[in-house]
Amino acid sequence: MKRVTLPGSDLSVSPVCIGCWQFNDGKDTVNWDAQPQEVSKQVVEKALEVGINFFDTAEGYSGSEEVLGRSLRGRRQDAIIATKYGFREGPSTQPYTAVQVEEAIERSLKKLEMSYIDLLQIHFPSFVADIGETIKELDRQVSLGKIRYYGVSNYGPKNLREFFDAGGKPISNQLCYNLLWRSIENEVLPICREKNMSILAYSPLQQGLLSGRFKNAEDFPEGRRRGKLFGKDSTKLSRHGQDGAEKEVFQALEAIRKVCDRESIPMARAALSWVIQQPSVPVVIVGARTPEQVVENSKVVTLKQEVLDELASVTEDVKKAVGSSLDQWAHPDRCQ
C-alpha cells in the first residue's frame, strides 16, 4: 500500500488506518462484543502484511492500548501509533491539567509497552483545562521525545480557532466523516485546509451502514442506532433527542447502491475511496473484527471524478438534514 506524509510532519502512513476501539481483550463492552487478544493480534499482523502501518487507539478505549502493545511486540519499528488522552475514569469528561496530560502520556506509554507515541491527540475539547498550559505541556513532551507530534480530535471551528490562536500547532483533527455524515464540509474542512492540517476520518462506513447490507432501519443493530441519523425513539440507548434523518439516509443508500452496481464496485470500497479522495483527508480509520476485513478494507481505489460528484449529489439531502452538527451522539453538540 502506498504511503502519504501527513503535512507538518515526517509521519509516513498508509491511507488506511486500523481503528482499535474493538481491541477489548475479550471483554464485552457497550460498543463492541468481546474480541480476544489473539484475534486482535491477527488483525494487526494482517494489516502489516498488506501494507497498513497506521494504528489508532485511545486511553478511553478500554483495554485497547494494552492489546495493541502486546500485538506489536517486536514490530514497533513497523508501525505508526496514534493514541488519545481523555476518559481516564470511564465516561468522565473532566478536563486535564498539564500535570494530568503528562500522567496520561506515561500511562499510555506503559500500556503500549513503547518509549514514544507518534501522534498524541486530545480526544475532545472538554479535556482541556487551560489551552495555553496544555500546548506548553504538549510542546514539552515533544522536546522530551515522549511524543513526536500532537493533534486534536472532535474539534469544531470554534475550538480549532482558539487552539491555533493560543499558539498550538496540531497536525491533525480526527473527526467523523463519510457519505452520510458530511457536516465537517461546512466549516471545519476549510479551516483545516487553511492551516495545512489533515483530517483523519473515523467511521468512514458509518458503523457499517455504508457496507450495503442494510435496507431499512430495523435491519441495523440497535446499539448502532444511537446516533443522530436515527430518530430519538429508534432505540432506548439514544440520548441526542433529535428527530433523525432515517428517510433521507435510506433513500441515499439505495441511490449509492445503484451507482456502485453500475460501476461494478462494492459499496463499502466506494465509500472508503470517496472519503480518501476528498481534499485534506489523507487517511480513513476503519475497524476490523477479522483479518479478512482488514484485507477487504485495504482495497481502496481511485474513483472517477464524475462518480465522486454523483455520490456527493445523491447524499446531499442527508447532508442538509444533518446540518452543522458534528457530534453524532450528544445534544447539545460537544464538538464546537
pLDDT score for 119: 99
pLDDT score for 69: 98
Domains and their CATH numbers in the chain: 4-211+268-300 (3.20.20.100)
Residue 215 has pLDDT above 80, yes or no: yes
Residue 29 has pLDDT above 80, yes or no: no
pLDDT digits over 166-202, tens only? Answer: 999 999 999 999 999 999 999 999 999 999 999 999 9
Residue among 65, 14, 10 nearest 272 (CA): 14
Helix ranges (H only) for 34-177 are 37-50, 64-71, 98-112, 131-144, 157-165
Q: Which residue has the higher pLDDT, 234 or 198?
A: 198
How large is the average pLDDT for residues 118-145? 97
Please say whether the beta carbons of 22 and 63 come within 8 A: no
Q: Return the exposure string of 12-44: e unless at least 16 CB atoms fall within 10 Å of the residue's CB, then b.
A: ebbbbbbbbbbbbeeeeeeebeebebebbbbbb
How large is the average pLDDT for residues 281-310? 96
Q: What percent of the chain has pLDDT over 90?
A: 85
pLDDT score for 92: 66
pLDDT score for 34: 77
Residue 73 has pLDDT above 90, yes or no: yes
pLDDT digits over 43-72, tens only? Answer: 999 999 999 999 999 999 989 999 999 999
pLDDT band at 336 (very low <50, low <70, confident <90, very high): confident
pLDDT band at 142 (very low <50, low <70, confident <90, very high): very high
Phi, psi of 63 (to 5 degrees): 85, -10
How large is the average pLDDT for residues 134-146? 98
Q: Which residue has the higher pLDDT, 7 or 217?
A: 7
Residue 90 has pLDDT above 70, yes or no: no
- Can you give the pTM of this predicted structure? 0.95
Rounded Cα distance between 74 and 254, Å, is 45
How large is the average pLDDT for residues 150-164? 98
